[in-house]
Amino acid sequence: MKMMILVLGLLVSTTAFARQYTQCSDLDKEFYSVVNLPTLEKGTLFVTLGAETDAHQLYHIEKIEEKEDGIYYKLVDAVNESYLVFPKGVFGTNNDNIRVDVYESGVHHRFSCFTRVYQD
């Protein structure tokens, strides 16, 4: 019985967070992004001008803090100070209508997104 409890405890602890996948489009421009978070602490941000162009950028992102307006992630590979903000309560849920903000070199990009949780 103790072994069964230990196995169940390990199973729950290793599956506490699944990969969060978020796909977005800019509300003002033809600018698209995909955020992939295998953990809440870090992941990647892929930004592109669309499928018909080779213009794209991949950033590693790391969680820096939580504030009332959301969870802040730093774009590690960005040349200038850049970060994105996810709304609180999004992680671990599927949602068809969230807003993600990206601040890059003083420019504010507002993204309309959907997000999914995947158990890989």
Query: What pLDDT does 116 receive?
Result: 94
Query: What pLDDT does 17 receive?
Result: 56
Residue 46: closest CA among 111, 120, 119, 106: 111
Task: Determine which helix (DSSP H) or strand (DSSP E) holds 4, and give its type and residue range.
Answer: helix 2-14
Query: What pLDDT does 15 receive?
Result: 47
Given a cut of 70, the residues of the chain with pLDDT beneath it are: 1-17, 120
CA 71 – CA 39 distance, rounded (Å): 13
Query: What pLDDT does 16 receive?
Result: 53
What is the value of pTM for the model shown? 0.79
Query: What pLDDT does 7 receive?
Result: 35
Query: What pLDDT does 66 receive?
Result: 94
